[in-house]
Every structure is written in C-alpha cells, then in structure tokens.
C-alpha cells in the first residue's frame, strides 16, 4: 500500500501542506515534532530538558495535531546523556495514549545502540496501549510503521 506523502518519515525537515512543526529547546538539547494526520515524527537532540518534551506535546494536543493514536517515529540517535523520567510520567497523563476509535497507536524508536533498548522497555510499560518496537535502520522502522496503518474502509 502506497500512502500519500509516503516519504513523511524519510526526512524530518520535509513538509507537506498539512505538516505542523513544533520545537522547543536550545543548542544543548531540543525536542522537535512534526505531525501530519495520523503520523508523528519526534526528534530528540542533545540532552533536552524534560519541560521541552512536555511543551511540545501540550502544544500539539492543544492544536489537535497530536492525538492518542498515531503512528510515531521517535529518533533517539541524537540523544546524549541520561533520561529524566519524571516528564515522561507527566506526559502519560496528558491523553489516553493508545486508546480511541481512530488510528493505530504504534511507536518505532530509532536507537544508535542497543544500550538504549531499556528505554523502549520502560516506555512499553508506561504506554501499554501502544505497539512499541526499536530499530537501528530508519528504513526498517518506517516499513514497520506502514504495516501498522489503519486498514482502509
């Protein structure tokens, strides 16, 4: 099945008419989101403060471009340093992630090494209504997300 804008996940900066970009942070750490319909692309760079994650998702939810059921690619290859889990716990309360009538909730994580695999396991326990899978190869991650698309009709 070929989707409209099937290169959505291929390049973060590439936009469609419906793409919405949200980004918060500094040169030391940044969280950026690109949303378009049922797809969400999240890029984590450096060591961002937890408040940047919360701001991005709060804005996206308030604008209606981030929903609880989306196919999401989270690129963690640029993450440096540790993870502050308290903002992730807070994010969990923002919406009924993985629940609802529309969309399929699935998240592919791009990791630079298997050492970050534990982060995905923790995310699975926090966001249990979502399908989670980790990858090193972006093409494999995108292919998996395409298989998770809501069937037509």
Q: Is the pLDDT of residue 5 over 60?
A: no
Give residue 10's pLDDT band: very low, low, confident or very high (50, 70, 90): low
Give residue 150's pLDDT band: very low, low, confident or very high (50, 70, 90): low
Question: Dihedral of CA 63/69/70/72: which sign?
Answer: positive
Locate tokens 């890029």: which residue? 43
Q: Is the pLDDT of residue 44 over 50?
A: yes
Query: What is the rounded distance in angstroms from the CA atom of residue 49 to the CA atom of residue 138?
Result: 25
Q: Is the pLDDT of residue 64 over 50?
A: yes
Give residue 113's pLDDT band: very low, low, confident or very high (50, 70, 90): confident
Flag whether the pTM goes above 0.85. yes
The closest of 63, 41, 16 to 107, measured between CA atoms, is 41
Question: How high is the pLDDT of residue 116?
Answer: 74
Q: What is the DSSP string of the chain?
A: -PPTTTTTTT-TT---TT-EEEEEEETTEEEEEEEETTEEEEEEEES--HHHHHHHHHHHHHHT-S-SS-EEEEEEEEE-S---HHHHHHHHTSS-TT-SSSS--EEEEE-SSGGGHHHHHHHHHHSTTSEEEEES-HHHHHHHHHHTSPPP-
Q: Is the pLDDT of residue 26 over 70?
A: yes
Give all strands of the β-sheet with 131-135 in edge-to-edge order: 20-26, 29-36, 39-46, 71-79, 106-110, 131-135
């Amino acid at each position: 099945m070929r989707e409209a804008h099937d290169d959505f996940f291929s390049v973060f900066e590439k936009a469609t008419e419906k793409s919405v970009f949200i980004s918060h942070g500094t040169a030391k750490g940044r969280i950026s989101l690109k949303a378009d319909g049922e797809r969400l692309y999240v890029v984590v760079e450096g060591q961002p403060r937890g408040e940047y994650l919360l701001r991005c998702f709060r804005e996206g939810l308030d604008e209606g471009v981030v929903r609880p059921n989306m196919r999401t690619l989270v690129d963690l290859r640029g993450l440096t340093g540790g993870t502050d889990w308290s903002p992730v716990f807070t994010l969990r309360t923002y919406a009924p992630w993985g629940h609802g009538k529309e969309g399929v909730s699935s998240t592919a994580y791009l990791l630079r090494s298997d050492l970050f695999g534990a982060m995905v396991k923790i995310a699975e326990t926090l966001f249990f209504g979502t399908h989670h899978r980790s990858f090193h190869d972006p093409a494999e991650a995108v292919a998996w997300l395409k298989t998770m698309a809501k069937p037509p009709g």
